[in-house]
Each structure stands twice: as structure tokens, then as C-alpha cells.
């Protein structure tokens, strides 16, 4: 996971230990994608303790050799299907303004679900003290999710 995130080129790299903690404490809301024996995708997400109706997607990455084939979209669908059951009403993620692929990914996801997508500035660039050329992060919010999501989307 650490290698995939590092090789993605535009995600903040976390430590191995951070990823182990993510998968240990939030295994119900993290997904890995494999093709044969290759590890080709990863999405980490969690439900904020003070706002458990939200599923916050922290990082999503697909290996460059596997992009453009629906892997990321499939992981998002599967993630929401697993986490829903009436408990999750909105999906959120932060995206920088120049990350076209990610904006398209979440726009496509909301279109597939037939839900609204809005965005607003969450973390302005100046908050990333000491991080070279870190862009502002905008919060994208999708929903409310249809209560029948898991029945309508037989993603596996």
C-alpha cells in the first residue's frame, strides 16, 4: 500500500505503520484490489466518530498499469455497499483543484448513484506548513445516498 501510494505521484505518503493501523482499526472501510497476484488498488476510508453518517474517503489509488478500467469506481461502489445498510448517508473526500482524474472519479460515482455532488474549500494551502507546493484541499460531498443503494448495486 505504501508503495502504491508513493508511486501514485500525487498523494501524501504515510508510513507503513499508519497503513497497518488503518487496516486494523478500519478494515470494514478499506479495500484492496488485486489482479492475479498483483496488488493494483487501494482505498482507505472511515466514518468520523462525531459524524458517523458520513463515509470519508481518505486515499484512493490505482496502479498506473491498471488505470482507466473502472478499478477505482468499482472499489468506491463496493465500499459504499459494505458500509451502507442505512448507516451512511453521505460520502466525502478531499481533492485538489488540479486532480482531474479524481474529480472525474467522484463525479462519475455520484452520477451512477443519482445523487448530488457539491464542493467547498476545506484546507487552504497555507495550512500545509512546510510541505512543498501542497495545493488547497476541497471537500467534495455526495449524497444523500439512496436507502436502497445496496439492493440496486450488485457490485462485487
Ligand X SMILES: CC(C)(COP(=O)(O)OP(=O)(O)OC[C@H]1O[C@@H](n2cnc3c(N)ncnc32)[C@H](O)[C@@H]1OP(=O)(O)O)[C@@H](O)C(=O)NCCC(=O)NCCS
Chain contacts with ligand X (rule: CB under 6 A): 8, 10-11, 60-62, 67-73, 93, 95, 99-102, 104-105, 108
Q: Which is nearer to ligand X, 10 or 147 (CB)?
A: 10
Q: Which is nearer to ligand X, 82 or 112 (CB)?
A: 112
Look at residue 7 and give its three-state secondary structure. Answer: helix
Residues 6+ apart with CB under 8 A from 110: 116, 117, 142
Largest CA distance in the chain: 46
* Residue 86 C-beta: closest distance to ligand X, Å: 26
Q: Which is nearer to ligand X, 97 or 147 (CB)?
A: 97
Q: Which is nearer to ligand X, 48 or 85 (CB)?
A: 48
Question: Which parts of 7-136 are beta strand (E)?
Answer: 30-35, 38-46, 54-62, 90-95, 116-123
Q: Which residue has the cell 485538489?
A: 96
* Residue 39 C-beta: closest distance to ligand X, Å: 13
Q: Are 29 and 36 in contact (CB under 8 A)?
A: no
* Residue 59 C-beta: closest distance to ligand X, Å: 6
* Residue 132 C-beta: closest distance to ligand X, Å: 17
Amino acid at each position: 500500500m505504501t508503495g502504491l501510494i508513493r508511486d501514485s505521484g500525487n498523494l501524501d505518503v504515510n508510513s507503513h505503520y499508519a497503513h497497518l493501523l488503518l487496516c486494523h482499526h478500519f478494515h470494514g472501510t478499506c479495500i484492496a484490489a488485486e489482479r492475479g497476484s498483483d496488488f493494483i488498488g487501494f482505498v482507505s476510508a472511515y466514518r468520523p466518530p462525531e459524524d458517523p453518517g458520513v463515509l470519508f474517503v481518505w486515499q484512493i489509488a490505482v496502479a498506473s498499469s491498471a488505470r482507466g478500467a473502472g478499478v477505482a469506481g468499482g472499489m468506491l461502489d463496493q465500499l459504499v455497499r459494505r458500509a451502507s445498510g442505512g448507516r451512511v448517508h453521505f460520502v466525502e473526500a478531499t481533492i485538489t483543484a488540479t486532480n482531474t482524474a479524481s474529480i472525474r472519479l467522484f463525479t462519475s460515482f455520484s452520477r451512477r448513484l443519482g445523487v448530488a455532488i457539491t464542493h467547498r474549500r476545506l484546507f487552504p494551502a497555507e495550512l500545509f506548513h512546510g510541505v512543498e507546493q501542497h495545493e488547497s484541499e476541497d471537500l467534495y460531498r455526495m449524497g444523500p445516498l439512496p436507502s436502497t443503494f445496496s439492493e440496486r448495486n450488485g457490485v462485487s
